[in-house]
Amino acid sequence: MIDRRSFLTASAAASAAGMLAACAKKNPAKSAGSQTGSKQITLGFSQVGSESGWRAANTQSVKQAAAAAGIALKFSDAQQKQENQISAIRSYIAQKVDVISFSPVVVTGWDTVLKEAKAANIPVILTDRSVETSDPSLYVTLVGSDFEIEGERAAHLLEKVLAGHKGPVKIAQLEGTTGAAPAIERAKGFATIMHASHPEWKIIASQTGDFTRAGGKQVMAAFLQAHADIDVLFSHNDDMAIGAIQSIQAAGKTPGTDIKIVSVDGVHDGFVAMSKGQINAIVECNPLLGPQLMDAVKVVHAGKGSTLPRWIKTKESDYTADQAAAALPSRKY
């Protein structure tokens, strides 16, 4: 396991939350939750959907952390549709929740609804995915991973997987949801390293599989029909890689051997496939964002949002197939 980053930002958030806890001790009426009889914080959370193992773990983390923090959670699943997320956010505004959080399915198209939240004086915390906006005051902070770095890490893992390989490398890419931050940025990070250091690598096919197993399976089958000579699959998540493995096997090839596979997430089933040698390497993307989110919610609700960093990043690692079996029992998602 290689620890890539240890972020000061997360500890800044933790210490801000710590300060708050200290204030709460002095002034018990201000501390959260039912035990003290003070008003409970209500958080409206709009989740992207249920597209992947990552998302299932993220949803569970948010629900568990809200319960542990004594925060009342209103939760809705947008089934990967932006219009559903916008309706959910509008309904949270109408219900006058204290804080809104959401994981935006795509990066664009949020300004109008975010302005509505601002006009209603409801602070917004982004989780997992970012938005593009001309007005940075429309959200307080983002709790989530650096997807561009994840793309770079994937390219560096591929260098290891291909060690000793000579000659051209033909790569197929399964992209995440079109327009989603992790799809855009993982592709960008990977391409940066490829263009800087690997003139012998070439992406010969690239298409979205929408972060789902079914999407990965279907798109990989089409890639295999069109290209007999794919050397590598770079998949933006484990679920699409797992779907693709089925199509590779159906085409009479051995995943992990005939076609090397690098993916992102590190969910349980990804580790199982890696321990069988079907996936060669995985960039971990940590979905357990609930505790950091609830800390940030408390800080924001106490009117101290300006003490938080704009981006609260997550600590993550990289894994190769030889580490998979040993790591599997201790995986938390």
Interface positions with ligand GYE (CB under 6 A): 51-52, 54-55, 128-129, 182, 211, 237, 239, 264-265, 285
Q: Least distance from C-beta 35 to ligand GYE, angstroms?
A: 34
Q: How far is the CB of 139 from ligand GYE (least distance, A)?
A: 16
**Least separation, in Å, of the C-beta of 81 and ligand GYE?**
14
Q: Tell me whether residue 287 or residue 305 sits nearer to ligand GYE (CB atom).
A: 287
Contacts of 170 (CB under 8 A, 6+ apart): 202, 204, 227, 229, 230, 231, 232
Q: Where are the alpha helices (DSSP H) in 70-180?
A: 82-94, 111-119, 147-161
Specify the residue, 239 or 318, whose C-beta has the smaller distance to ligand GYE. 239
Q: Which residues contact 123 (CB under 8 A, 6 or more apart)?
A: 99, 100, 117, 140, 300, 301, 305
Q: Are 266 and 196 in contact (CB under 8 A)?
A: no
CB of 265 or CB of 295, closer to ligand GYE? 265
For tokens 């793309």, what's the residue? 151
CB nearer ligand GYE, residue 42 or residue 58: 58
Task: Tell me the residue ranges of DSSP E strands in the chain.
Answer: 2-3, 42-47, 72-77, 99-102, 124-127, 141-143, 169-175, 201-208, 232-235, 260-265, 281-284, 311-312, 317-320
| 42 vs 237 by CB, closer to ligand GYE | 237
State whether the Cα torsion 286-3-238-278 is positive or negative. Answer: negative
- Minimal distance, residue 271 CB to ligand GYE, in Å: 14
CB 158 to ligand GYE: min, Å? 17
Determine how β-strand 2-3 pairs with β-strand 317-320: antiparallel
The residues pairing with 43 across neighbouring beta strands, listed in sequence order, are 73, 99
Q: Which CB, 218 or 237, lies closer to ligand GYE? A: 237
Least Å distance between CB 304 and ligand GYE?
A: 27
